[in-house]
Amino acid sequence: MKAIYNIETEIFVVDNHSTDASLEYLQPKFPDVKFVINKTNSGFAKANNQALIHACGKYILFLNPDTIVAEDSFEKCIAFLEANKKAGAIGVKMIDGTGSYLKESKRGFPSPLVSFYKLSGLINVFPKSKIFARYYLGQLNENENNEVDVLSGACMMVKKEVIDIIGGFDEQFFMYAEDIDLSFRIQKANYYNYYLAETTIIHFKGESTRRDLKYTKLFYKAMSQFVRKHYKGGISFLFNLLMDGAIWLRAGVSLIINFFKPKKITINNKEIKTFIVSDLADENFIKNNLSSTQRSFVDDKNKANEIIFCEGNNFSFKQIINAFEENEMNVHYKIHANKSGSVAGSGSKNAMGETIPLNP
């Protein structure tokens, strides 16, 4: 709530048939939040549209639940949109739970060739190429503001006047490409999409590492839907032909990349040495209440393989995000939000995150 302290807002949370008792936990804690509860998983696009029907603010923010934003992130987005009348939407720099930059923060439109380069893995071989890295706009500096084609639906602020013209997400896209389609329609309405590097958020993501084949099929389906909708003539045939080849090529390229890729630190099945960044009261609270086995606490961060940042009066989310970005120690980072009942973090953008409950 600190990110909207100076902004008049209304908040909608759409629950897509969760089974983890999150609703029962959240509703009493946030009585001013409007909850929309679905009996089935209706998909990302439809769920957002359910809230969009009721939203009446000047700006619409689509935000994933697995994100942590700085206290001034939204103020900076609004200031940029206010200063740029032809700006239709804005996205921000995103990092994962290790502090690594997330390339989907800015993207190009997935033409058949661009999709082929992405799906085949050639984008990973030539990450800065204007040709092969067009999907993630690898030629653009991630630390500079830029006009871009596509913004991520994980954190995307759109002017309400633009939404009123083009409509919300296209619900034919169940997963992937719905934000690409929305970005495309914003440009067709003669507005611009901007990537704002002046503020950074954490997007934990948390998809399983055993998702490669499933992801490839879902991505293929979504890109095919996008091409059929926006490209005419023989382009659809060309797309499908290229995608069939890309799937096989990706498998070979991935094997080569994974063979030579350096392995990140893992602290599974070994003692966790935890360093706590906080004031004394928070440090003692964490030490006395952290529910975890195989964990010891160290006073020297250079000896740690896990660092817990405690947000509070002396340490802001913005400072924590900056610390994540500067992570050069190859350790696992976690966050304890003030007055929360857990410590949370993720060691990889491709791995399930971890939430550790604190003793009552």
Q: d(Cα 190, Cα 181) in Å, to the nearest integer?
A: 15
Q: Are residues 157 and 218 in the same domain?
A: yes
At 43, the pLDDT band (50, 70, 90 cuts) reads: confident
Task: Indicate whether 325 belongs to any domain.
Answer: yes
Task: Indicate whether 92 belongs to any domain.
Answer: yes
Task: Indicate whether 303 belongs to any domain.
Answer: yes
With a CB cutoff of 8 Å and minimum separation 6, the contacts of 28 are none
Is pTM, for the whole model, over 0.85? yes
Q: Residues 225-266: pLDDT tens digits?
A: 887 788 776 666 676 677 666 655 665 655 566 566 655 444
- For 214-248, letters b (16+ CB in 10 Å) and e give ebbeebbbbbbbbbeebbeeeeeebbeebbeebbe
Q: Are residues 65 and 195 in the same domain?
A: yes
Q: How many domains does the chain have?
A: 2
The DSSP line for 302-352 is: GG-SEEEEE-BTTB-HHHHHHHHHT--S--EEEEE-TT-SEEEE-S-TTS-
Task: Indicate whether 132 belongs to any domain.
Answer: no
Q: Are residues 83 and 161 in the same domain?
A: yes
Q: Residues 127-175: pLDDT tens digits?
A: 999 999 999 999 999 999 999 999 999 999 999 999 999 999 999 888 7
Task: Indicate whether 196 belongs to any domain.
Answer: yes
Task: Indicate whether 222 belongs to any domain.
Answer: yes
Q: d(Cα 130, Cα 114) in Å, to the nearest integer?
A: 10
Which residue is associated with the tokens 């195989």?
A: 294
Q: Are residues 180 and 78 in the same domain?
A: yes
Task: Indicate whether 340 belongs to any domain.
Answer: yes
In whole angstroms, how large is the CA radius of gyration of the chain?
A: 21
Q: Which domain holds residue 148?
A: 58-106+142-230
